[in-house]
Amino acid sequence: MAVLSLVFAGCGYSLVGHGGFLPDDIQSIGVPEFINRTDRPELEQRITEELLRQLQVRSRRRTTAGREGVDAVLLGEVTSFRSLPVEFNPDGRARTIEVVITARSRLQATSDDRIIWAADHFVFRQSYPVGEEGAEFVDVESLALESVARDFAEAVVTSILEGF
């Protein structure tokens, strides 16, 4: 059994999404608030909070909401945010909305400014069900913002940790 463990250890197998792509010298990551180039308020705050949470949990690195005293910084800006109804109920109300977020971001080492990961045109697209309570479209969009931010952050962190 010990021999099998040694064989698999040397084959490059590792747990997906647990920081295998990040260099060993990156033990702490700062995430200053993303810049919001959209007209959607709060988007940058929610995304930044979720990125911090996802990086801490999934990369097992120390994270902070700033640039000071860290080995790398995740910088970014949300360049567009769209939500469109894509499925309707018999009354003509939205049953499903699709959210599309486009962003630019990069993970940069603070010691030598090397770029560890970058995405100049990161596109996140996800559909969300709309409740049947008769809420207006804008209200549904606001309620979905937390889910959108979480899902967007998961996609970015997965991309960073897997080296895409």
> Which domains are assigned to the chain?
22-159 (3.40.50.10610)
Give the pLDDT band of residue 142 (cuts 50, 70, 90): low
In angstroms, the CA 54 to CA 45 distance is 14
Does the pTM surpass 0.85? The reply is: no
Q: Is it the case that residue 108 has pLDDT exceeding 90? A: yes
* Contact between 18 and 161 (Cβ < 8 Å): yes
In angstroms, the CA 54 to CA 149 distance is 11
Three-state DSSP at 78 gives strand
103 vs 11, higher pLDDT: 103
34, 55, 127, 144, 163 from 23: Cα distances, Å: 23, 14, 34, 35, 11
pLDDT more than 90, % of the chain: 59
